[in-house]
Chains A and B, each alone.
Chain A
Amino acid sequence: MEKQNYNYAIVRSFVIWSLIWGLVAVLVGVIVSFQMVEPDLNFPPYLTFGRLRPIHTNAGIYGWGVGVIFATFLYIVQRLCKTPLWSDKLAKFQLYFFNATIIASAVTLLLGYTTSKEYHEMEWPIDVMIVILWVAFGINIIMTILKRKDEQMYISLWYMMASIVGVAILFLVNSAAEPVSLFKSYSAYAGTNDANVEWWFGHNAVAMALTAPPLAMFYYFLPKSTGVPIYSHRLSIIAFWSLIFMYLWTGAHHLLWTPVPDWIQTLAMGFSVMLIAPSWGSVFNGYLSMGGQWHQMRENYLVKFLILGITFYGLQTLQGPMQAIRTFSAFIHYTDWVPAHIHMGTMGWVSMISFASIYFMVPRIWDREVYSIPLANLQFWLILVGQLIWSISLWVAGVLQAGMWNAMNSDGSLTYTFMETMVEMYPYWWARAFGGIIYLVGLIIFIYNIYMTVKKGEPTAVTTATAEGRA
């Protein structure tokens, strides 16, 4: 209908660039997983594990994750507000500046310009770029919402706005630093304070960048894909407000047993356990929306991605609170269990939802039918199996290592030296690298499928309009 007014060109560009940075993130991830088992694969000064690992994490979060956020938010906001973007020029600026920022990040990290703060390694000039980028994006989304045609704002829009505000606050506070030169600065906070600020940021970056946005996508694309609405509006209201209220208390669960004051740790532990409720509120809302529709798991590959995605979200938000309990943290923290947990969230939850969102949008923004559904199904299984091998091997490794770290002799001495415990990790690290390769193959198939859709897909003249009319 009014489709021609919507700015789909910008969505197309962000889809393409998020795929490129996603490929970089996974590729570097596979490289560092081999560096962990074979130290001769480090090529100093630039290509060492210590410099490449931040590139892997930041390309994943800011290149792939935020790239998909930009693509989907710019799409969803136009559809839900029934109005074109507030400013096409600003969106275009955002696209170019996004790529400039990611490239600058990758280059400076390779050169060793880093603050060392996890998921915030980039030095201060790039922090400035990220702030400009986020403000440009936020203004465009919020202004578009302000001029919407539908008075009622759908759930996805709430999560989007909370995410825009949340990321802004977190990033600004954690960026505070005193520059020495263009490429070196010292944190504005020291020691224990710095640790507490960093993990308030670190954990809530997960909330505001890797939880709220995929939830916005899930709440939009699930009903769109199944053709039936979300089960409970009231449940989504409760889940939304309790989620964004409780998350901010939990950062110190990354710092259990450290010199951070005990009461902060205890609050973090309590709120982490309480967070199960709002997290599972969304999980249940998703599952119950499938009432009478479960046959679509067989027939509709989009639903398969979305439901597996929300299932991993559910598992992630049970495992996370478990790790946030002092006794369990004492056992498992600092082992390979933790990366296994993170990767279930990123490879399982965030990426599954992102794949589904892109598969849903592509026919609508390029007017082409998806090239091959069998390929999409193949990709689904590769992604799933790759991620499971990755995570399960390191969960086992983590429990094994934690057990060895804690093993004691009858005279009260330790049974194993550190090296004896580390040597046991090698087989699991090999398994993880293997799982990573399977995942990489799945991702390449996805990119190929999207590429072929754009190049060779059948045109979708009328079908889009009818599919749209359903939900």
Chain B
Amino acid sequence: MWEKKPVLLIVLATCAILVGTIVTMVLPFAWVNTEADRIEGVTPYTALQQEGRDVYIREGCNNCHTQTVRPLVSDVLRYGEYSKSGEFVYDRPFLWGSKRTGPDLARLGGKYPDEWHYKHMDSPRAMVPMTNMPDYEWIRDYPLDPQMIQRKMETLDFPYTAEEIKALEGKNEMDAIVAYMQKLGSDIPWREATETTIVGELINPYAEADQATISSWAPLFSDNCAACHGARMEGDIGPELIGEDYDDEILFELIYSGITDGGMPSFSSLGTDKVWKLTNFIRNYKADGDQ
């Protein structure tokens, strides 16, 4: 019958399409982003952060970077605490992405100091030699437009102050995107919550290693430490490492757990073995300084 009546076919097809639509797309509005989802501490973006977010959108960063950590072992170990619905209530649009050509950024905020981000955005390959991320130094040439940003804040209904808008003058898009990246995932105190507490005595498994063995660990240092502490440990964004005189155990703990509010990331994802190797490499380097 419907094969002879086009209007009936259209009505029936629309109904067929609407069933799944209503159940899986319309109904969730009753649950998602309600009071039950709310997380204390999650705040709207500041004017500077929101503008940074818009630069992120404009440049299509979401084509290569995701912003959701899944509740899976390898995701949580690599990126941090898994993402929760309530953390995204101010995200219009969402930026979860669909492809990790580069790493996930959902927990990037607070991982590195600002200076790291400026240098990395200028020239990613200067920090991470084999990366395929293009340079974004050029966004420094674009000054912010405070008036436009104020309009955006009004459209989004985000709180802002006149001083905040005034402070945007003289800033450029690079300042904005760095401010945005430092906000990512940092509304909940997950870093403090997941900090490792080392129980019992730490014993350096490589205390007796010979010079040649320790020297062979140099790539570990150049891959993970050199971008901030310099290829010869002379210091750059991070402090100089030659002449520091930490005990093995303290140095191990610093590398393993990082310094949460000091800009030093945790390297626990490398595993204890590699962190011990780094500890010995750094201590040893300091000793004779010519590896």
Smallest CB separation, A163 vs chain B (Å): 9
Q: List 27 A-B contacts (CB under 8 A).
A: A39-B135, A115-B57, A117-B93, A161-B9, A180-B148, A187-B94, A190-B92, A191-B90, A191-B91, A193-B32, A195-B88, A200-B25, A245-B19, A248-B24, A249-B20, A257-B72, A259-B83, A261-B28, A334-B104, A406-B74, A409-B271, A412-B271, A414-B270, A420-B223, A422-B102, A422-B131, A422-B132
**A50-B13 Cα distance, complex, nearest whole Å:** 37
Whether B23 contacts A50 by the Cβ 8 Å rule is no
Whether A248 contacts B20 by the Cβ 8 Å rule is yes
Q: A198-B93, A244-B17, A339-B99 are in contact. Are A39 and B134 (CB under 8 A)?
A: yes
Using an 8 Å CB-CB cutoff, how does the interface string of B5-23 with A read, 1 for contact, 0 for none? 0110110011011111101
Q: A186-B155, A411-B272 are in contact. Are A50 and B92 (CB under 8 A)?
A: no
A320 at the B interface (CB under 8 A) = no
Whether B92 contacts A194 by the Cβ 8 Å rule is yes
Whether A50 contacts B72 by the Cβ 8 Å rule is no
B63 at the A interface (CB under 8 A) = yes
Whether B88 contacts A259 by the Cβ 8 Å rule is yes
Smallest CB separation, A330 vs chain B (Å): 5
B62 at the A interface (CB under 8 A) = yes
Contacts of B136 in A (CB 8 A): 44
Whether B64 contacts A49 by the Cβ 8 Å rule is yes
Contacts of A180 in B (CB 8 A): 148, 151-152, 155
Q: A181-B151, A186-B93 are in contact. Are A165 and B10 (CB under 8 A)?
A: yes
Query: Number of B residues whose C-beta is below 8 Å from A?
Result: 87
Q: A247-B20, A259-B88, A267-B24 are in contact. Are A50 and B269 (CB under 8 A)?
A: no
Contacts of A39 in B (CB 8 A): 124-125, 131-135
Smallest CB separation, A62 vs chain B (Å): 17
Whether A259 contacts B85 by the Cβ 8 Å rule is yes
Using an 8 Å CB-CB cutoff, how does the interface string of A140-167 with B read, 1 for contact, 0 for none? 0010011000011100011001100110
Whether B270 contacts A244 by the Cβ 8 Å rule is no
Q: A166-B17, A194-B94 are in contact. Are A413 and B100 (CB under 8 A)?
A: no
Contacts of A423 in B (CB 8 A): 130
Contacts of B104 in A (CB 8 A): 334
B101 at the A interface (CB under 8 A) = yes
Query: Number of A residues whose C-beta is below 8 Å from B?
Result: 97
Contacts of A116 in B (CB 8 A): 57, 60, 62, 93, 95
B167 at the A interface (CB under 8 A) = no
- The chain A residues found within 8 Å of chain B, CB to CB, are 35-39, 42, 44-45, 48-51, 53-54, 112-118, 142, 145-146, 151-153, 157-158, 161-162, 165-166, 169, 173, 178-181, 184, 186-198, 200, 241, 244-252, 254-255, 257-261, 264, 267-268, 271, 330, 334-336, 338-339, 405-406, 408-409, 411-415, 417-420, 422-423, 426
**A200-B88 Cα distance, complex, nearest whole Å:** 18
Contacts of A418 in B (CB 8 A): 78, 102-103
**A285-B122 Cα distance, complex, nearest whole Å:** 56
Contacts of A406 in B (CB 8 A): 73-74
Whether A330 contacts B85 by the Cβ 8 Å rule is no
Q: A153-B4, A186-B93, A194-B93 are in contact. Are A413 and B272 (CB under 8 A)?
A: yes
**A192-B96 Cα distance, complex, nearest whole Å:** 9
Contacts of A426 in B (CB 8 A): 132
Whether A49 contacts B90 by the Cβ 8 Å rule is no
B49 at the A interface (CB under 8 A) = no
**A422-B273 Cα distance, complex, nearest whole Å:** 22
Smallest CB separation, B156 vs chain A (Å): 6
Whether A35 contacts B134 by the Cβ 8 Å rule is yes
Smallest CB separation, B87 vs chain A (Å): 8
**A208-B144 Cα distance, complex, nearest whole Å:** 41
**A411-B205 Cα distance, complex, nearest whole Å:** 14
B128 at the A interface (CB under 8 A) = yes
Using an 8 Å CB-CB cutoff, how does the interface string of B146-185 with A read, 1 for contact, 0 for none? 0010011001100000000000000000000000000000
Contacts of A50 in B (CB 8 A): 59-61, 63-64
Q: A53-B60, A196-B32, A258-B70 are in contact. Are A36 and B273 (CB under 8 A)?
A: no
Contacts of B62 in A (CB 8 A): 116
Smallest CB separation, A469 vs chain B (Å): 24
Chain B, residue nearest A196 (CB): B28
Q: A196-B28, A405-B74, A411-B272 are in contact. Are A244 and B66 (CB under 8 A)?
A: no
Chain A, residue nearest B20 (CB): A248
